[in-house]
Amino acid sequence: MAIEDKELQCADCGANFTFTAREQEFFKSKGYTNEPKRCPSCREARKTQRYGTGYSRSQRQMFPATCAVCGQATEVPFEPTEGRPVYCRDCYSKARTNRPR
């Protein structure tokens, strides 16, 4: 018996969407017995939402900069401002340990 496309209603936005025969077969092959509750766009939105918040929390934005001492390209976790020297990791730790007394 051939599987037919099914018309389902999204639990989030209430829109009708098609649960295609192909998707039904895919669900079956995965062992899923439940039908999808949300339309593809709501599913996608939830996925990116979850991803988005988790990502921004763990990932810090880095800005490209040039070290004021050795001229090496480096990255800093803040936006470099003009007139303020930026140091690479090496020079920064050297400057901290070799501070004049």
> Which positions touch Zn ion (CB under 5 A)?
10, 12-13, 39, 42, 67, 69-70, 72, 88, 91
- Pick the closer one to Zn ion by CB: 40 or 56: 40
- Pick the closer one to Zn ion by CB: 65 or 67: 67
Identify the CA nearest to 72 among candidates 97, 89, 96, 60: 89
H/E run at residue 22? helix 21-30
**Where are any strands of DSSP class E within the chain?**
6-9, 16-19, 63-66, 73-76
- Pick the closer one to Zn ion by CB: 41 or 56: 41
Nearest approach, Cβ of 17 to Zn ion (angstroms)?
7
